[in-house]
């Protein structure tokens, strides 16, 4: 299992996007990849150095036989901070 956490936290350069493509291609069919990101699929081209062809190729491999979980909600970190601030001011 390869876990990639916070993909897209910072945009990739062309070289980084190319290396990520090679990683995904290498892992495709060999083992599971789990990716966390706050980016929608529509934003992946921008994330991957603006390369639509590369983004399509990566998503094609990642989404084949994939289970996609969309989790919506507030950040638990921000929620905890807000609760702590409310307790401090109470």
For the chain, give every domain's residue range: 2-88
What pLDDT does residue 12 have? 96
Q: Could you give the CA distance from residue 73 to residue 5 in angstroms, rounded to a whole number?
A: 18
Question: How would residue 25 be classed by pLDDT, with cut points 50, 70 and 90?
Answer: very high
Please, which residues have CB within 8 angstroms of residue 51's CB and are 6 or more apart in sequence?
14, 17, 45
pLDDT in tens, 45-78: 999 999 999 999 999 999 999 999 998 888 888 8
- pTM given for the model: 0.81
What pLDDT does residue 49 have? 96
What pLDDT does residue 68 have? 94
Q: What is the mean pLDDT of residues 17-45?
A: 95
Q: What is the DSSP string of 2-35?
A: EEE-STTSSPPPHHHHHHHHHHHHHHTTTS-EEE
What pLDDT does residue 19 have? 98
What would the two tokens of residue 41 be?
A: 């699929």
CATH of domain 2-88: 3.40.50.300
């Amino acid at each position: 299992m390869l876990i990639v956490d916070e993909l897209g936290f910072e945009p990739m350069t062309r070289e980084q996007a190319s290396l990520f493509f090679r990683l995904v291609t290498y892992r495709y069919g060999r083992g599971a990849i789990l990716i966390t990101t706050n980016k929608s699929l529509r934003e992946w081209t921008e994330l991957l150095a603006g390369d639509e062809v590369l983004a399509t190729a990566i998503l094609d491999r990642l989404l084949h036989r994939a289970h996609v979980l969309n989790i919506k909600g507030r950040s638990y970190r921000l929620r905890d901070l807000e609760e702590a601030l409310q307790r401090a001011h109470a």
